[in-house]
Amino acid sequence: MITKAKAIEDFLVSTRRHLHQYPELSHQEWETAKFIEGELQKLGITPKRIADTGVIAEIGEGKLTVALRADTDALPIQDEKSVSYASRHPGVMHACGHDAHTAILLGVARLLTEEKLPGKIRFIFQPAEESGGKEGIGGAEKIVKAGGMKGVQAIFGLHINSKLELGVVNIVEGPFTATSSEWEIKIKGKGAHGAYPHEGKDPIYLSALEIMALQGIISRFKDPMEPAVITVGEIKGGSKSNIIPKEVILKGTIRSLTEEGLEFLREEIQNTLKMLEPLGGVGIFSSEPGYPPTVNDAKLTELVKEVAIGVVGKEKILSKLFGLGAEDFGMLARECKGAFFSLGAKPDGTSPPPPHHSPYFDINEKALPIGVAILSSVAMKALEVL
């Protein structure tokens, strides 16, 4: 399959670069969806619009259905790269590889239409992986609610990784990506003149205490053998240097490998806010539901490893957790067995490479046919062994 995938490398590169030049934010992928539909129609595949800006399509016949998923949305980041295919949409950029995922899945569709399949392959081009939008619903959840996972026995997906060497495949049985939730804390105090702090209840001072307390949850209240993160990413408060404000807002993310772990963090955060009361402050905590963890099925994980060894060699197979990144693929994988893996795409001549979500993010496009070969073979083999 790798030979066939390399034969369409020019198509894969041009497709990825087109998508890179015309990125669209979560829930706004209208032109991206039209482009995907057009490419599928060229192959004689009938696409179906789903979840507003998502696209699904199916080929083959049989009782079993295997789904393959790619995410299609971009990020609110200004592309700073000096390349011919840099984003033409100001302030919007494919800074996480979703353009590559979409190009790979279109390449898989191109190869599998030429194969005799022992079942059905469903292609899911999912919008809004990066954001739940105003309605608080991410793209995977919208796909599920719209019936996009009905009748599916197994689902596979990949994520480009610009830090891993070209062709390295990383997959772990069990939890592979974290469950995460965005949170907000409003710390209410009493405003005053900066020269008379004793007349107020300074929420900036209280917020400093709260930030320290949050990190104490990780270091002193959580089991150190269970990975978890509490990050404060945003602080808003005050309007002038000599005015003590009445309120400060903290925002951040919490992450764990289990939903039970995430709930523990929520409860402990609320417990820390009780310390503000004797100091004259009030803390109000709220959080979003968040994504579930992606939990890789044991049998499907071994299937991916077996196929990947045949494509890239045993020396390029990893089974390692690198952090607590989150992905809403887990929402799809709750509907059936699933397996999700990372594919190394470190750009040539960059050490270290710009990270994901960086304005300089880019990939080694030689990873594209590798992704096509692995996903195509995985889908066909899954239909044989399920």
Q: Hey, is 284 helix, strand or coil? A: strand
The distance of Cα 230 from the centroid of its chain, to the nearest Å, equals 18
Name the pTM for this structure: 0.92
Tell me the domains of the chain and their CATH numbers: 2-177+293-385 (3.40.630.10), 179-287 (3.30.70.360)
With b for 16 or more beta-carbon neighbours within 10 A and e for fewer, the 35-57 pattern comes to bbbebbeebebebeebbbbbbbb
How many whole angstroms separate alpha carbon 32 and alpha carbon 105?
14
How many whole angstroms separate alpha carbon 235 and alpha carbon 251?
7
The secondary structure of 214-256 as a DSSP string is HHHIIIIIS-TTS-EEEEEEEEEE-SSTTEE-SEEEEEEEEEE
Pair 294, 176: CB distance under 8 Å: yes
Amino acid, single-letter form, for residue 121:
I
Residues 6+ positions from 333 with CB-CB distance below 8 Å: 155, 294, 295, 296, 297, 339, 340
pLDDT tens for the 386 residues of the chain, in order: 999 999 999 999 999 999 999 999 999 999 999 999 999 999 999 999 999 999 999 999 999 999 999 999 999 999 999 999 999 999 999 999 999 999 999 999 999 999 999 999 999 999 999 975 445 578 999 999 999 999 999 999 999 999 999 999 999 999 999 999 999 999 999 999 999 999 999 999 999 999 999 999 999 999 999 999 999 999 999 999 999 999 999 999 999 999 999 999 999 999 999 999 999 999 999 998 878 899 999 999 999 999 999 999 999 999 999 889 999 999 999 999 999 999 999 998 867 899 999 999 999 999 999 999 999 999 999 999 98
The secondary structure of 355-373 as a DSSP string is PTT-TT----TTHHHHHHH
